[in-house]
Amino acid sequence: MAQVEEVRGLAPRILDLLKDVEELELEDVEMELGDLELILQPPALTLPPAKPEVRLKPERIIEERFTPPRMEYPGKIVEVKIGSTKSEGGTRSRSIVIGGERNPPFYIFEAPPPNPPSISIDVFDMRIPLAKPVKEHVEDVLDDPAAWAKRAVDKWEADMVNLHLVSVDPLLKDTPPREAAKTVEEVLQAVDVPIAVGGCGDPEKDLKVFEKVAEASQGERILINSVTLDMDVGKMADIVNKYGHTVIAFTPMDMDKARELNRKLYSYLPKDVIVIDTTTAALGYGLEYAFTIMERVRLAALMGDEELQHPISSGTTNAWAAREAWMKMDPRWGAREFRGPIWETITALTLLLAGVDYFMMMHPAAVKTVKTAIRDLISNRRGDEPSLMRWVSTRF
């Protein structure tokens, strides 16, 4: 079966390369005469006489070793602890620690992550437009954030609850800060997991709301979501500090802005109360920007960029903004009851591999899949290798 054209014989290449080499020393080579099969090919008559081509065909497998390409990283992500137990002055049954990584996400061949990423489920303090596949699971608790939170924890095993005080928006209900703080207290009583509390995005109103909320939940070490560059950062940081909470620093898809906000916060806060959110865009609607910024942030942090060494949060629920997630489409693309939740799931799994430590999610099936994936990714279990080839000849 010798091929006349283009034989990758070693001999001519070696000769070519040895033109300027005086001495040749062979390393890492073992040869047994039996391993070599020499095939000499007569040169074709029409061509000028060439060097005889030599083809060495291995008789048996040439054993090589694979060395895991491990690296060292000068940087480390800070650990942020959310939620306080009774002994710590709070009422949570446990705290949750996120961050602490010393290497890229799930490079288990170097080291497993010290803390698995956590998943929180979104709860809203008023009725908002929700996609049908999400709504059907919470229809009966839409007006009761405490009951909604309880379901998220008891039924869907959320690590945390993420309460969004949407109603405080001056353009919506303009709920007063005191009343919003009451809702937070109700949720704290309904569940014993750590909680995060979000505002409405109005920088002035949110500040007033967070002040009351922080005071009402003093000692619980909640995660305040979020502080932004267009807020009075100093004032916000003082609130976080005074009542002993943690905070998400939110910036719009820009590494420099993420650094800038962190720099501002460092004047008031210790590093280990800050989580960063560099914005999540939906699969199909800018996910690649979200993914690459998170990946770059995490790698830069590990390589020593001290302004980015924080756990990363993702508003994964944004996946539902993609029309493919909620719209009725041609039957070819299946029911949205599947399409919606898998949209959220794949958005989350993609960002999980970029370095996200804290997910805010919505659909129970998505939450369950991502939890399973996290468990599997940190387990370091190996597959059942012998059965792996069965797919080739199995009728599905």
Shortest distance (Å) from residue 382 CB to another protein: 5
Q: Which stretch binds another protein (CB under 8 A): 46-54, 65-73, 91-99, 218-226?
A: 65-73
Footprint on residues 98-157 left by another protein (CB under 8 A): 106-109
- Residue that is written with structure tokens 């290449």 in the block: 13
- Taking the least distance from each CB to another protein, the nearer of 267 and 386 is 386
Tell me if 14 contacts another protein by CB under 8 A.
Answer: yes
Q: Which stretch binds another protein (CB under 8 A): 73-81, 82-90, 91-99, 322-330?
A: 322-330
Shortest distance (Å) from residue 218 CB to another protein: 33
Q: What distance in Å separates the CA atoms of residue 335 and residue 327, rounded to the nearest whole number?
A: 9
Shortest distance (Å) from residue 160 CB to another protein: 23
Q: What angle do CA 348, 351, 353 make, to 5 degrees?
A: 115
- Taking the least distance from each CB to another protein, the nearer of 86 and 382 is 382
> From the list 55, 76, 102, 173, which residue makes contact with another protein (rule: CB under 8 A)?
55
Tell me if 18 contacts another protein by CB under 8 A.
Answer: yes
Cβ neighbours, 10 Å, residue 117: 28
The residue type found at 47 is L
Footprint on residues 329-368 left by another protein (CB under 8 A): 331-336, 338-339, 342-343, 345-346, 349-350, 353-354, 365
312, 355 in Cβ contact below 8 A? yes
The residue type found at 310 is H
- Taking the least distance from each CB to another protein, the nearer of 59 and 140 is 59
- Taking the least distance from each CB to another protein, the nearer of 175 and 345 is 345
- Taking the least distance from each CB to another protein, the nearer of 126 and 373 is 373
Shortest distance (Å) from residue 345 CB to another protein: 6
- Residue that is written with structure tokens 């004047």 in the block: 267
Continuous segment of H or E residues that includes residue 190? helix 177-190
Strands 38-41 and 53-56: antiparallel
The residue type found at 195 is I
Shortest distance (Å) from residue 340 CB to another protein: 9
Shortest distance (Å) from residue 283 CB to another protein: 6
Tell me if 19 contacts another protein by CB under 8 A.
Answer: no
Q: Which of 193, 210, 192 is nearest to 201 (CA)?
A: 210
Tell me if 63 contacts another protein by CB under 8 A.
Answer: yes
Does the CA dihedral 21-25-30-32 come out positive or negative? positive
- Taking the least distance from each CB to another protein, the nearer of 53 and 220 is 53
Shortest distance (Å) from residue 30 CB to another protein: 11
Tell me if 229 contacts another protein by CB under 8 A.
Answer: no
Q: Where are the beta strands (DSSP E) in 142-273?
A: 160-164, 195-198, 223-227, 246-250
- Taking the least distance from each CB to another protein, the nearer of 57 and 135 is 57
Footprint on residues 243-282 left by another protein (CB under 8 A): 252-253
| HEC readout, 59-117 | CCCCCCCCCCCCCCCCCCCCEEEECCEHHHCCCECCCEEEECCCCCCCCCCCCCCCCCC
C-alpha dihedral (294, 299, 305, 309), degrees to nearest 10: 60
Footprint on residues 366-395 left by another protein (CB under 8 A): 369, 373, 376-385, 387-395
Per-residue tokens: 330? 């041609």
Tell me if 40 contacts another protein by CB under 8 A.
Answer: no
> From the list 144, 296, 305, 306, which residue makes contact with another protein (rule: CB under 8 A)?
296
Q: Which of 124, 243, 154, 344 is nearest to 336 (CA)?
A: 344
Shortest distance (Å) from residue 116 CB to another protein: 12
Tell me if 33 contacts another protein by CB under 8 A.
Answer: no
